[in-house]
Amino acid sequence: MVQALTKQSALNLFEQITAFSVNDATPGITRLAYSKEDELAHQLMIEKMKEMGLQVRQDMMGNIFARLPGKNPELPAIGTGSHIDSVPQGGAYDGVIGVIAGLYAISQFKPQQLKRSLELVIFRAEESSRFGFACMASKVMAGQADFDKWAKNTDSEGNNIFQVLDNCGYQSQKLDECRLPTHYFDGFIETHIEQGKVLEHQHKRIGVVNGIAAPCRYRVEVHGHADHSGATPMCQRHDALVASAAIITDINAAAGYESAYGTVGTVGRLDVSPNAINVIPGDVTFYVDIRGVDKASVNRVVAKFQASVEHAKAAQDVVINVSELANDMPVLMKDDIVHRLERICQEKGVPFTTMMSGAGHDTMYMAQDFPAGMLFIPSRDGVSHHPDEYSEFDDVILAAEILQQAMGELADA
Ligand SMILES: [Zn+2]
C-alpha cells in the first residue's frame, strides 16, 4: 500500500519544508544547498516518503529517488521531481512545489497498478548561490558536469562541492555512479513556479512549457575618449556611452520585433568610466543577454546587435570589442509530452497557455537523455528568488492532478 497525499497533507508537508530555513532575522527562506537546514529538509522527505510506502534510495551525491513500482519494474520509469534548496532570502515555492506536486501525483496510484514504475527525484544544489554552478545534480546525472571547474570554485567558507559532499557523509569520489543509465526514464515532467508574469497577465492557471531558453551572452567593451564635458564641441567627441546607448536601444528593438517567438534581449549591467557628471564617458563595458527557444529568432537578434555595433563604431568613432561568453542551444521539450499536457488541460477545462521557460531548470539536463516536459503555475507579480514569492496552493494541486494523469498515461503506454 502507498498512502496517498491529500490536498491538506500536501499543504502540511509544504509547510514543514518551509520551516527548514536559517533561523535569523532575515526575511524569506534561506536553505542553501547542503546546509544544515537543507540536510534536515531532505532527511524529512526521506522519512516521509518511506512512511508513505515508497521505495526510497539516495545516491552518492545525496539525491533522493522515491519509486512506486509498476507491474513491469524492468521497464524505464516515468519521472518527476525538482529541488528543495533555495537562494539566500528566497521564497518558499521555488522548487519545493515541484517536489510536492510530484509526490502528490505518484501517491495517487497503487504499487503494480501501472505498467511502468513512477519515480520522484529530489535534485540537490539546483541553485547556484553556494558554489556558483546551477543544476549540479542534474548535470551529474546527465554526465555534463565539469568536475575540474567545480573543484576550483568554493563557497563562502572556502570549501568546494567535493569537500562539502564528503563532510555531509556523501561520496564525492563516486559521483560518476550518479550518472543515470540511458533508458532510466521514458518520460520526465517537472512542475515549477513560472517566475514571470505571463500566466498572471493572461489569467491562465497552467503553463505548458515547450522549451527552455538558453542564453547567448556577450561582453561589449567600448573605448572612446574621456574629455571635458564643457570644453569639447559635439563634433569632436568619441563618446563611449552614446555608442553603447545606441546599441542597447537596437537590441531592445530587435528583441521586441521577435516577441512572437518569445525571444528576449537585455542589457542588465553597464560600467561607465570615469562615471563623472562633467566628463565625456571614455570607456563603457556592458553585458548582453539574448535568449529564446527559437534559435533562428535568437540568431536574428544577435545579427542585429552585431550590425548595430558596426554602426556605432562608425557613428561615434569609437573602438568596440565584443566577446562571446555563452552561446547555448535552447532545450526543446518533447512534442508528445507537450501535446499530452495541452490535451489534459483542455479535457479538464483548465485555462492554460503554451510558453517557453526563460529560466533554467533541472529538466534542461533530464531532457538531454529523456523525453521531457514541464508545467508552470503562476507566480504572484512574477516575483521569485525573493521573500515575497507566492503561488496559490490550489494551483499546486491543479498542476499535480494534471501531472498525475500525464504520468499515469505515460506509464501505461
Ligand atoms: Zn527552481
Report the CATH number at residue 108. Answer: 3.40.630.10
Q: Which residues are annotated as a binding site?
A: 83, 94, 127, 192, 217, 278, 291, 385
CA of 152 to the centre of ligand 1 (A): 24
> Are 130 and 11 part of one and the same domain?
yes
Residues in CB range of 354: below 8 A, 6 or more apart: 207, 208, 209, 210, 338, 342
pLDDT at 23: 82
Q: How far, in Å, from the CA of 124 to the mean position of ligand 1?
A: 11
Going from the Cα of 246 to the center of ligand 1, the distance in angstroms, rounded, reads 35
Strand order in the sheet with 283-292: 264-273, 283-292, 214-223, 319-327
Measured in Å, residue 327 CA sits from the centre of ligand 1 at 22
Mark which of 298, 327, 356 sits at the end of a domain: 327
Percent of the chain beyond pLDDT 70?
100
CA distance 406 to 366: 17
What residues are neighbours of ligand 1 (ion), with CB under 5 Å? Answer: 94-95
pLDDT of residue 327: 85
Task: Say what the pLDDT of residue 363 is.
Answer: 98
Specify the pLDDT at position 325: 86
- Residue 281, preceding bond cis, omega within 30 degrees? no
Say how many Å lie between the CA of residue 412 and the centre of ligand 1: 29
Residues 160 and 125 in one domain: yes
pLDDT at 90: 96
Determine the distance separating the centroid of ligand 1 and the alpha carbon of 361, expressed in angstroms.
Answer: 6
Q: What is the pLDDT of residue 107?
A: 98
pTM (two decimals): 0.88
Query: Which residues does the annotation place in the binding site for Zn(2+)?
Result: 83, 94, 127, 192, 385
Q: According to the model, what pLDDT value does residue 214 have? A: 83
Whether residues 159 and 219 share a domain: the answer is no
Return the pLDDT at 299: 96
**Residues flagged as binding site for allantoate:** 217, 278, 291
Are residues 100 and 3 in contact, defined by beta-carbon separation less than 8 angstroms? Answer: no
Q: What's the 264 CA to ligand 1 centre distance in angstroms? A: 20
Query: What are 32's three cell numbers?
Result: 542553501
Query: Rounded CA gap, 98 and 105, in Å?
Result: 10
Those residues whose C-beta lies under 8 Å from the C-beta of residue 198, and which sit 6 or more positions away, are: 204, 207, 353, 355
CA–CA dist 365, 384 (Å, integer): 22
Q: Is residue 355 one of the residues assigned to a domain?
A: yes
CA separation for the pair 153, 70 (Å, rounded): 41
Residues 317 and 353 in one domain: no
List of the chain residues with pLDDT < 50? none
C-alpha 242: how far from chain center: 35
Q: Three-state SS for 358?
A: coil
CA pair distance 373, 336, nearest whole angstrom: 9
pLDDT at 332: 95
Distance 24 CA to ligand 1 centre (A): 23
Q: Which domain holds residue 254?
A: 214-327
The answer on 379 and 264 residing in a single domain is no
Task: Supply the CATH number for residue 279's domain.
Answer: 3.30.70.360
CA 83 / ligand 1 centre spacing (Å): 6
Distance, in Å, from the CA atom of 184 to the CA atom of 60, rounded to the nearest integer, reads 17
Cα 208 to chain center, whole Å? 15
Instruction: Output the CA 123–ligand 1 centroid distance in Å.
Output: 10
Asked if residue 1 belongs to a domain, the reply is no
Pairing state between β 352-357 and 185-193: unpaired
Contacts of 173 (CB under 8 A, 6+ apart): none
Residue type, 191: T
Residue 2 lies in a domain: no
Total number of domains in the chain: 2
Chosen domain end from 293, 327, 361: 327
| Residue 199 and residue 207 in contact, taking contact as beta carbons nearer than 8 Å | yes
Classify the phi-psi angles of 334: left when phi > 0, otherwise alpha if psi is within -120 to 50, otherwise beta: beta
Residue 136 Cα to ligand 1 midpoint, Å, equals: 12
Is the domain of 127 the same as that of 114? yes
The answer on 139 and 50 residing in a single domain is yes
Q: How remote is the CA of residue 324 from the centroid of ligand 1, in Å?
A: 26
**Cα 95 to ligand 1 centre (Å):** 4
Give the distance (Å) from ligand 1 centre to CA of residue 362: 8
Predicted pLDDT at 198: 96
Residues 42 and 135 in one domain: yes
